[in-house]
Structure 1
């Protein structure tokens, strides 16, 4: 009996100890979030910014992103797939839809983050709110890579009338997120024809036909699922998907796949070489775009084209809905 009582007391102490440890972890996490926000505000003040917008997306307008791009989660503690964090000098507002209301309340409890409920999922309701609360001649900081051309048009439509400046600060986060994960480096595999149902050569030829129809020179692709489908490539860059972090440019003679070459086996590189596809490191896209597009006509989709790439294109842009997105709807007999 005495042993049972002692054992029961010991187990109770263990439970209390675990509970105390859990509370300490939660408190530490909350403190970290608040410290990160304060650090962000310090950087904003140094750069003369009155607000900073952090979306959920990556340079490809993905809803589900790799660890490197989980910036909104880093600063808010909220790890849902959709939401936008707006940090001003006096407010930390997290906008998300009804799927995540309860989750935000739990994960952001006792932090500086306040939930702002979206009435329509993915709608940019934070933009009119922010521009309404900012004075004239103020500055909003963003990373151009995380905003599409279409999203920038919306932001500028509200900011311009109040003479609010949009400032590009692509590496601001790195000063605070010092142990930020690296970009993916796992091997890229060819998706076999027996599963894809159509060769990369066939798909490239069809896009070349679209280029010729528009009297253009190149077709620029940003969306990861479009690129994976077109080039028949797969990897594990984003959780629960077979996508590869990359950009693609299709030309009449030569095409380009922007993805670090060390992620490909020699035989894979040889296969792409036969298809006149040159593999260029991912972070060189902003350098290569001006070279290729100067005095040229390039087709792309403004819904997925990030604003940094838009600024890098020096030729004429033809905006069209992604050909790949439409073509994927047409299934082969094998599929």
Structure 2
């Protein structure tokens, strides 16, 4: 029977170049399978014939001589035979005979293949198709035949014979593979092309190597792994300990948070990841002059055990017989000790707790003027300078002007900080006159602005002071471009550079009165203000963010609907591919789901790194596949997505 070009699993090689394949579409073109097959033409002997215009390559002239590189006078007899064959074919109306189907002598053996082999197998199949059109196919026994390099070593009289035999052997192997596929379909109850059915035969694992599904997608993916490998930590720890000696420190604490208390941090703030090699989202590191410890909860024990090298000891926080957290571990050990810490990387609330406890052990917290990890981190990435942008009112529901007005009303409602022993009225220095906001999510919410400084979070690095009359945003000036600057002016928000905050606090540029800060504010800020200039109070913005307005609730519903539709499309794609016999990796599946989501309306990015885990990996909390180590999705074990 006649095979239509779209019925071939490798037909996309002729229609679509590899470089043109994208995430958005599969290289398999299922939508172009014809509903009816072309009429079968036969010769006088009843053998099926196919016009050259319908062949895979559409090549009329034989490519044998150019393929093997024959020169003038070499392979002359072969060239004459090819010329005679061309004349004979032209006299027959540009038609060629196809080999009859021969059932295999033994059942085919399935092979466990991987999608990464697809391109190689596709090229082998492509060359096999070209060889079928270059010469008239002659049936021959399936045996090893010399390759082109072997044939070139023989004398001139043997070259023609060897070349002809090589072509015939390749054609025979291609015929047997086709026959084996037909036999397998018949054995498993699937209709086949050879039986005259219009349905495309089912693809099985042994066939998946001759397609571009999977391999084409992986070739389009970035080669750089999303997870950075910081290498051996021995030299870095040695450099850090030299800096500790300079400041006479017994311990140095490296929290996982940044200066704004964010759990998810930018690459430039991944100090704990750099010094320890552990890139989980939760954990703290403590370095002594002889040892190094990593503290994390049960979600990351397995991950930490794999990523920490011999220089580190894992402390399973919350485990049986283990301390609850790193603070409890530290309190049981310190005595007459100096504990180093970057005061920007710990909250006011937590620092006060530690100070109260270590004071009983005659120990103290020490704050070096520079972060000691930064001194060791020679190739530390620069902070992001990506521009900020407006969050439209159609999604926010409430304007930034309204939010600022309500925040100022809250500031006015706060009682003055009058000592309990005082009997007179409050002085101007005791009245609350403003609030300093350090939480990135609170700043973005209050001003209806968004950014992209932190992966998987629409946030930007900044500080915001809001007074009763005006406001000041401390941010890198390169981030404010276009109409964003005019928008801030309409809100009455002054813009200053990010590091100007410390000058603002040191000079007390807000005037008289006290500044309200939340318990999660950086301890470095409360140290700069001194306890005479600040009042600790729960954040009004965090409470307001938790109570969603109707516009935000409607936006959440619509976002979940769009994401649900994308997820269903992904599940349908994955089920079809696995049922068709394709091998899909965890990494590829995660990337495919991202592409389905990306095609949806209002897509801005992922909320977290994609979880795509098969088999035993599905038991790992927060497992994220890496391109270099991703496993093939198994069909008989749970798959977590």
CA drift of 1:294 comes to: 5.5
Aligned to 1:263: 479
User: Within 5 A, what are the aligned runs for 1:306-317?
Assistant: 306-314=522-530, 315-317=532-534
Residue 499 of structure 2: SS of its match in structure 1? helix
- 1:134 corresponds, among 326, 330, 334, to 334
Measure, in 1, the Cα distance between the counterparts of 2:495 and 2:502.
Answer: 15
CA drift of 1:39 comes to: 1.2
The reply to whether residue 296 of structure 1 matches residue 513 of structure 2 is yes
Cα distance, 1:35–1:275 mapped onto 2, change above 3 Å: same
CA drift of 1:293 comes to: 5.1
Residue 551 of structure 2: SS of its match in structure 1? coil
Please say if residues 207 and 219 of structure 1, whose CA atoms lie closer than 8 Å, have aligned partners that are also in contact.
no
CA drift of 1:148 comes to: 0.5
What whole-Å deviation, never above 9, does each CA across 1:138-174 have from its counterpart, x for those lacking one? 2111000001001101211221112212111233222
Aligned to 1:161: 360
> What TM-score does the superposition give when structure 1 sets the normalisation length?
0.86
Aligned to 1:199: 399
Cα distance, 1:203–1:111 mapped onto 2, change above 3 Å: same
The reply to whether residue 238 of structure 1 matches residue 454 of structure 2 is yes
Aligned to 2:138: none
Higher relative contact order (CA 8 A, sep 6+): 1
Cα distance, 1:223–1:44 mapped onto 2, change above 3 Å: same
Measure, in 2, the Cα distance between the counterparts of 1:156 and 1:126.
Answer: 14
Aligned to 2:152: none
Of 86-95 and 281-290, the range deviating more from structure 2:
281-290
Please say if residues 30 and 111 of structure 1, whose CA atoms lie closer than 8 Å, have aligned partners that are also in contact.
no
Residue 292 of structure 1: SS of its match in structure 2? coil
- 2:496 corresponds, among 255, 280, 283, to 280
Aligned to 1:173: 373
Residue 186 of structure 1: SS of its match in structure 2? coil
Measure, in 1, the Cα distance between the counterparts of 2:462 and 2:230.
Answer: 34
The reply to whether residue 73 of structure 1 matches residue 273 of structure 2 is yes
User: Within 5 A, what are the aligned runs for 1:24-103?
Assistant: 32-103=232-303
User: Within 5 A, what are the aligned runs for 1:209-220?
Assistant: 209-214=409-414, 215-220=431-436
> What TM-score does the superposition give when structure 2 sets the normalisation length?
0.46
Please say if residues 275 and 373 of structure 2, whose CA atoms lie closer than 8 Å, have aligned partners that are also in contact.
no
Please say if residues 272 and 278 of structure 2, whose CA atoms lie closer than 8 Å, have aligned partners that are also in contact.
yes
> Structure 2 stretches of 5 or more lacking a match?
1-143, 148-228, 415-430, 553-641
User: Within 5 A, what are the aligned runs for 1:97-136?
Assistant: 97-108=297-308, 110-119=309-318, 125-136=325-336
Please say if residues 127 and 158 of structure 1, whose CA atoms lie closer than 8 Å, have aligned partners that are also in contact.
no
Please say if residues 286 and 308 of structure 1, whose CA atoms lie closer than 8 Å, have aligned partners that are also in contact.
no
Please say if residues 258 and 279 of structure 1, whose CA atoms lie closer than 8 Å, have aligned partners that are also in contact.
yes
Please say if residues 249 and 339 of structure 2, whose CA atoms lie closer than 8 Å, have aligned partners that are also in contact.
yes
CA drift of 1:31 comes to: 6.0
Residue 86 of structure 1: SS of its match in structure 2? strand
Cα distance, 1:254–1:3 mapped onto 2, change above 3 Å: farther
Structure with max Cα Rg: 2
User: Within 5 A, what are the aligned runs for 1:241-256?
Assistant: 241-256=457-472
Please say if residues 43 and 172 of structure 1, whose CA atoms lie closer than 8 Å, have aligned partners that are also in contact.
yes
